[in-house]
Amino acid sequence: MPLLMLFIFVATEIWLLVELINRFGAAPMFAWMFLTGLFGIWTIKQTGLQALRRVQMAAAQGELPSASPLADLMKLVGGLMFFLPGILSDVIGATLVLGGSLRERLAGRLQSGIAKARPDLRRPVILEGEYKAQNDD
């Protein structure tokens, strides 16, 4: 099933690309793909692989990753989608990179999916309290 979905995705990308090249010409479409590729690289560089490291570190400590690193990971995936040539991947990338509330909702769903798949992971421990700095002078 995933292989069929990948085939349909690639076929749709190629069909859209051919249709848009026939309508607007090859030069504007290649310029569009080049510019969105640059934007994808910039997004990946800005988000960095630090988001992936934070998710891996939380999993290595046996904790469930919080929604914020997962949202950054979604932004990283959006940058990768911008880097792929094609209009459909650009739309998905724009949704993941620019859609803040959607990205947060998807990260929350991903977090709950991870929690169901890995019940051995625990929520991060948050200690609340007040403190007062003391001077030993």
pLDDT tens for 82-99 read 999 889 999 889 888 887
**Mean predicted confidence (pLDDT) in 30-40:** 93
Q: Which two tokens stand for residue 92?
A: 């998905």
pLDDT tens for 67-78 read 667 777 888 888
Q: Binning pLDDT at 50, 70 and 90, where does residue 64 land? A: low
Report how far residue 14's alpha carbon sits from residue 23's, in angstroms, rounded to the nearest whole number.
14
Model pTM above 0.85: no
pLDDT tens for 45-55 read 888 777 777 77
Residue 122 has pLDDT above 70, yes or no: no
Nearest Cα residue to 116 out of 45, 77, 64, 48: 64
Is residue 73 a contact partner of residue 55, using CB atoms and an 8 Å limit? Answer: yes
pLDDT of the residue at 60: 78
pLDDT of the residue at 76: 86
- What single letter denotes the amino acid at residue 136? D
Q: Where are the domains of the chain?
A: 30-117
pLDDT tens for 108-117 read 777 777 767 6
